[in-house]
Amino acid sequence: MLTLAAIKENPEEIVRKLAKKHFDAKELINKVLELDKIRRASQVELDKRLAELKNLSAQTGKYMKEGKKEEAEKIKQQVAELKEGNKSLEKAMSDAEDNIVDILLNIPNTPCDMVPEGRTAEDNIIERTGGIIPALSDNALPHWELAKKYDLIDFELGVKITGAGFPVYKGKGARLQRALISFFLDNAREAGYLEIQPPYVVNAASGYGTGQLPDKEGQMYHCNEDDLYLIPTAEVPVTNLYRDVILNESDLPIKNTAYSACFRREAGSYGKDVRGLNRLHQFDKVEIVQIQHPDHSYEALKEMINYVQTLVEKLELPWHILRLCGGDMSFTSAITFDFEVYSAAQKRWLEVSSVSNFESYQANRLKCRFKGADKKTRLVHTLNGSALALPRIMAALLENNQTPEGIRIPKALVPYTGFDVID
């Protein structure tokens, strides 16, 4: 969440920046400032009364030693009245602090200056592009038909045992899925990321820490009885490894990678976007996370973008990178770059990765800090990226590599699959 210090320093600038996300923050920011005045005024009055209590207590002791019991009793009565009044001040402070936090949890991160203006995906900027879009025959099949033809994925069986959006991978389809996971993890390890195997469910504190909670859109699966949430991405448990932690500056940067299943309700999704593997409720993904020094987070962002680019290039997929406009960004991000690959049979671009810098927004919620050489503590910056999400990668691989002889496997994946063609 935004820091109170940043809001107090320049509230107009916060409101201006959030307008780029098409979020009107003026009323909420003014409310935060009003509550902060109440909090500070209560603190000043409380400090004054505590000092008075200290003096009165000293007088009580003096009078008792001198045998002046009547005077001592009068002061004791004053002390009791002051303590009762202090309870009201403490409650006013606590209520103001709680209300400030509640408001801040519902204010999105401010976009950085590099974020372009815009409302929808149509306003995103193409940063760069690469790869060759294959020329398929007129009778080329979309991936859901290829999956059926080669018995790779059974969507109907998934509906039977769970529901729509929970496919069953079979035979070479399952092996290709496992190969992609191993391929992405091995590449991440070689790039300096430490592999983590996280839990797939998290508590509410973890959801608040990375900004998935409060879940206003109801996109997380919630286990009511235990108050646990199925993770929408490994970002949540991995980043929360550092919740309530004070790191040494020498510990930075921290680079973690994790494979996990991901669970998203995808409420409101419909039409062609949900066909086949295009949009699922459960899918696999390898995530990369960095905990960075604030002075180096944008260098790390470039490094992460370049790293994801190497993955799509090794998979021989046509790709482009989008810099998201303010209106298309997530609640928690300061800047996001999306990778899309071209699905030749569907004749459309499919998002396969988002790489984001959250600056100190998540760190403030997590209370993740580091101690520098000057012994002062500062908030870290957090970053993460999909490297990569599997369903649409699988869709593009199947569609783009279909031939009359079968589906060709990219050379980089053959050591992982153990086969070079699906026939």
pLDDT tens for the 423 residues of the chain, in order = 999 999 999 999 999 999 999 999 999 999 999 999 999 999 998 888 888 877 777 777 766 677 777 776 677 777 777 777 788 888 999 999 999 999 999 999 999 999 999 999 999 999 999 999 999 998 999 999 999 999 999 999 999 999 999 999 999 999 999 999 999 999 999 999 999 999 999 999 999 999 999 987 889 999 999 999 999 999 999 999 999 999 999 999 999 999 999 999 987 666 556 789 999 999 999 999 999 999 999 999 999 999 999 999 999 999 999 999 999 999 999 999 999 999 999 999 999 999 999 999 999 999 999 999 899 999 999 999 999 999 999 999 999 999 999 999 999 999 999 999 999
Are 338 and 387 within one domain? yes
User: Distance (Å, rounded) from C-alpha 252 to C-alpha 47?
Assistant: 39
Are 222 and 96 within one domain? no
Locate 291 and state its tokens.
Answer: 């905990």
For residue 110, tell me if it sits in a domain. no
Query: Which of these three, 78, 104, 130, is where a domain ends?
Result: 104
Are 84 and 129 within one domain? no
Q: In CATH, what number is assigned to the domain containing residue 199?
A: 3.30.930.10
DSSP 3-state percent helix, strand, coil across the chain (nearest 5) = 45, 20, 30
For residue 278, tell me if it sits in a domain. yes
Are 19 and 145 within one domain? no
- Give per-residue burial for 290-329: e unless 16+ CB within 10 Å, then b: bbbbeeebbebbebbbebbbebbeebbbbbbbbbbbbbbb
User: Distance (Å, rounded) from C-alpha 272 to C-alpha 323?
Assistant: 24
Query: Which of these three, 72, 104, 136, is where a domain ends?
Result: 104
Positive or negative torsion for Cα 307, 312, 318, 323: negative
User: Distance (Å, rounded) from C-alpha 264 to C-alpha 165?
Assistant: 10
Locate 331 and state its tokens.
Answer: 């609640």
For residue 111, tell me if it sits in a domain. no
Locate 165 and state its tokens.
Answer: 């959006």
Segment 362-411, tens digit of pLDDT: 999 999 999 998 999 999 999 999 999 999 999 999 999 999 999 999 99
Segment 290-324, tens digit of pLDDT: 999 999 999 999 999 999 999 999 999 999 999 99
Taking alpha carbons only, the member of 107, 88, 121 closest to residue 354 is 121
Neighbours of 177 (CB within 10 A): 20
Are 99 and 221 within one domain? no
Are 126 and 86 within one domain? no
Are 162 and 86 within one domain? no
User: Distance (Å, rounded) from C-alpha 373 to C-alpha 95?
Assistant: 36
Query: Which of these three, 104, 131, 164, is where a domain ends?
Result: 104
Bond before 134 cis per omega within 30 degrees: no
pTM of full prediction above 0.75: yes
Are 359 and 294 within one domain? yes
Number of domains composing the chain: 2
Q: How far apart are the first and last CA of the chain?
A: 51
